[in-house]
Amino acid sequence: MTAPRVTSATPGERSDFGGTERTTVAIVGTGFGGLAMALELLRNGFDDFVLLEKGDDVGGVWRENTYPGAACDIPSPYYSLSYEPNPTWSSRFSPQAEIQQYMRGLVDKYRLRPKIRFGCEVSSATFDEATNTWRIDAGGTTIVANVFVPATGQLSRPKLPDLPGLDEFTGPSFHSAQWDHSVDLTGKRVAVIGTGASAVQFVPAIQPHVAHMTVFQRSAPWILPRPEVQYRKWHHTLFKLVPPVRLAERFGFWLLCEVISLGLVDAPWMRPLISQIALRKLRKEVPDPELRGKLTPDYAAGCKRGLFSDDYLPTFSKPNVSLETTSIERVEPNGVRTADGTLHEADVIIYATGFRATEFLGPITVRGAGGRDLAEVWRDGAFAYKGMSVPGFPNMFLMYGPNTNLGCGSIIYMLETQAGYIAQVIREVARRRGIAVDVREDVCTEYNRALQKRLDRSVWTLCSSWYRNASGRITNNWPGTVLAYRMTARRWQPSDYRTVLPARSTEGVTV
């Protein structure tokens, strides 16, 4: 995209009056979604945007999730921006701190910091039809922007379990995404509730330190091998000097995930293959048949997110670890009581119970044209056109929106596709001063009808997971490969959208 020249008087700067800031594009969040969008704009010569960040650093989930053992379970050569490869990852599955450092490095390299408003938590965004602009309330500041890009992610709001007595526990307790590092677990009796991707990483990491750990499992996860490699100096040199080697690593994992993704939707015959690999691993790593029985999933592989670990299953054979599969009745002052009446005493409780993933954009109040409330529009489940546009919300484009999550693959690949698409629209909005574009209702409805039809044959219909809302609708996942999504969203089609002119003069509007 050639650089559209923007006529904002003071791009990305605060005005002197009433804490109002004018900009062309307001991006909410500085996780991978927000950064991918900002970098795409900069790479195209467009710099009239701000990033609103509620925290005091960049990183999104990679800033928040600091639990012991936190690492990416998608290989880093694939879980990074295609145009910003990092030849010096310390290992194939990089630890959290290194990923956040990579993100900070992007911010520094592209001189993004002056564009980021830290400590700016967005509470509401309202579309003003008179001027075709979004008014975004963020603490004491109002941002007026032509384009609103929420990039708040799907996994940013921790969810505590809906159990009675949570407040009665007298010891420390915390969610895995809000790890309390001031609590020393050494020699403590620890209760862990939940056995998803987060628990699978921190359970083996804390086991050597605790006196005893009881892991409360509601559903056993499918665990696959994690082909970890510690990259040495020679790897780094090779990756730097011979880029095809690094690209081969990226391509290999991309291809593997693409094949697995086919198995999750269109090629069900592949699923037994995946479960066989996991069951063989389980037999090898858990010799005790009774324990193995408890750790054997009772639902189709891939229905909940498949997990990659070589140290999680062996942890349950350690003398200081118990696996509890009786359902939890309540939390009490001294521990966790299960339905069989047993009190499992604990000094610390860690909730690894996931996120409010289906509540996209919550708790931000978003009002579009005619004052329509996005929460109301999404009351039966979030939806969007290609995961980015919702009819009646002109010039709003979501990053990592509804139905763009993956059962297997790098979400960064998806984000690059979305950033490219949104940048094309921004170019048009910047070119045609004052217009807004609103996805056509019929186009969006037909897109989602076909999408849900495809999802009906996916493995995700076979169990409950964070991919589905309370009524069972799959609101989070994309039913296919990342390549298929890229083909769908590589070009913005103006005919899919209505052009909306502002109700009154565009004097002062920044595009």
Residue (10 or 178) nearer to ligand NAP, CB? 178
Residue (93 or 497) nearer to ligand NAP, CB? 93
Q: What are phi and psi of 306, to 5 degrees?
A: -70, 145
In the complex, minimum distance from the CB of residue 251 to ligand NAP, in angstroms, rounded to a whole number: 20
Binding of residue 32 to ligand NAP (CB under 6 A) = no
Nearest CA among 453, 505, 492, 445 for reference residue 474: 453
Which member of 58, 106, 125, 199 binds ligand NAP (CB under 6 A)? 199
Nearest CA among 328, 511, 335 for reference residue 434: 511
Q: Which two tokens stand for residue 23?
A: 């900009």
Q: Which of residues 162-181 bind ligand NAP (CB under 6 A)?
A: 162-163, 176
Binding of residue 337 to ligand NAP (CB under 6 A) = no
Residue (338 or 389) nearer to ligand NAP, CB? 338
Binding of residue 304 to ligand NAP (CB under 6 A) = yes
Spatial CB neighbours of 437, under 8 Å, sequence gap ≥ 6: 394, 395, 425, 428, 429, 494, 497, 498, 499, 500
SS3 389: strand
In the complex, minimum distance from the CB of residue 150 to ligand NAP, in angstroms, rounded to a whole number: 19
Spatial CB neighbours of 251, under 8 Å, sequence gap ≥ 6: none
Closest-by-Cβ residue to ligand NAP is: 196
Kindly give the pairing relationship between strand 335-338 and strand 328-332. antiparallel
Binding of residue 155 to ligand NAP (CB under 6 A) = yes
Residue (31 or 502) nearer to ligand NAP, CB? 31
* Distance separating alpha carbons of residues 504 and 59, to the nearest angstrom: 39
Residue (72 or 295) nearer to ligand NAP, CB? 72
In the complex, minimum distance from the CB of residue 310 to ligand NAP, in angstroms, rounded to a whole number: 14
Binding of residue 220 to ligand NAP (CB under 6 A) = no
What are the residues facing 141 on neighbouring strands?
138
Binding of residue 203 to ligand NAP (CB under 6 A) = no
Binding of residue 73 to ligand NAP (CB under 6 A) = yes
* Distance separating alpha carbons of residues 358 and 473, to the nearest angstrom: 10
- Per CB under 6 A, the segment of 179-187, 216-224, 252-260, 427-435 that binds ligand NAP is 216-224
Which member of 193, 203, 223, 374 binds ligand NAP (CB under 6 A)? 193
- Per CB under 6 A, the segment of 24-32, 212-220, 289-297, 426-434 that binds ligand NAP is 212-220
Q: What are phi and psi of 410, to 5 degrees?
A: -95, 120
Residue (176 or 424) nearer to ligand NAP, CB? 176
Which member of 14, 218, 356, 473 binds ligand NAP (CB under 6 A)? 218
- Per CB under 6 A, the segment of 20-28, 69-77, 471-479, 497-505 that binds ligand NAP is 69-77
- CB atoms closer than 10 angstroms to residue 8: 18
Residue (156 or 417) nearer to ligand NAP, CB? 156
Burial grade of 262 (CB within 10 A; 0-12, 13-18, 19 or more): middle
In the complex, minimum distance from the CB of residue 351 to ligand NAP, in angstroms, rounded to a whole number: 8
The interface mask with ligand NAP, positions 457-496, x = CB under 6 A, is ---------x------------------------------
Which member of 223, 282, 328, 415 binds ligand NAP (CB under 6 A)? 328
* Distance separating alpha carbons of residues 156 and 378, to the nearest angstrom: 19
- Three-state secondary structure of 324-364: ECCCEEEEECCEEEECCCCEEECCEEEECCCECCCCCCCCC
* Distance separating alpha carbons of residues 145 and 160, to the nearest angstrom: 35
**Residue 153 φ/ψ region, left for φ over 0, alpha for ψ in the -120 to 50 degree band, beta for the rest:** left
Residue (86 or 395) nearer to ligand NAP, CB? 86
Binding of residue 195 to ligand NAP (CB under 6 A) = yes
**Amino acid, single-letter form, for residue 480:** G
Which member of 133, 198, 214, 477 binds ligand NAP (CB under 6 A)? 198
* Distance separating alpha carbons of residues 74 and 79, to the nearest angstrom: 6
- CB atoms closer than 10 angstroms to residue 339: 10
- Per CB under 6 A, the segment of 25-33, 48-56, 205-213, 349-357 that binds ligand NAP is 349-357
Q: List residues binding ligand NAP (CB under 6 A).
A: 71-74, 155, 161-163, 176, 193-199, 201, 216, 218-219, 304-305, 328, 352-355, 466
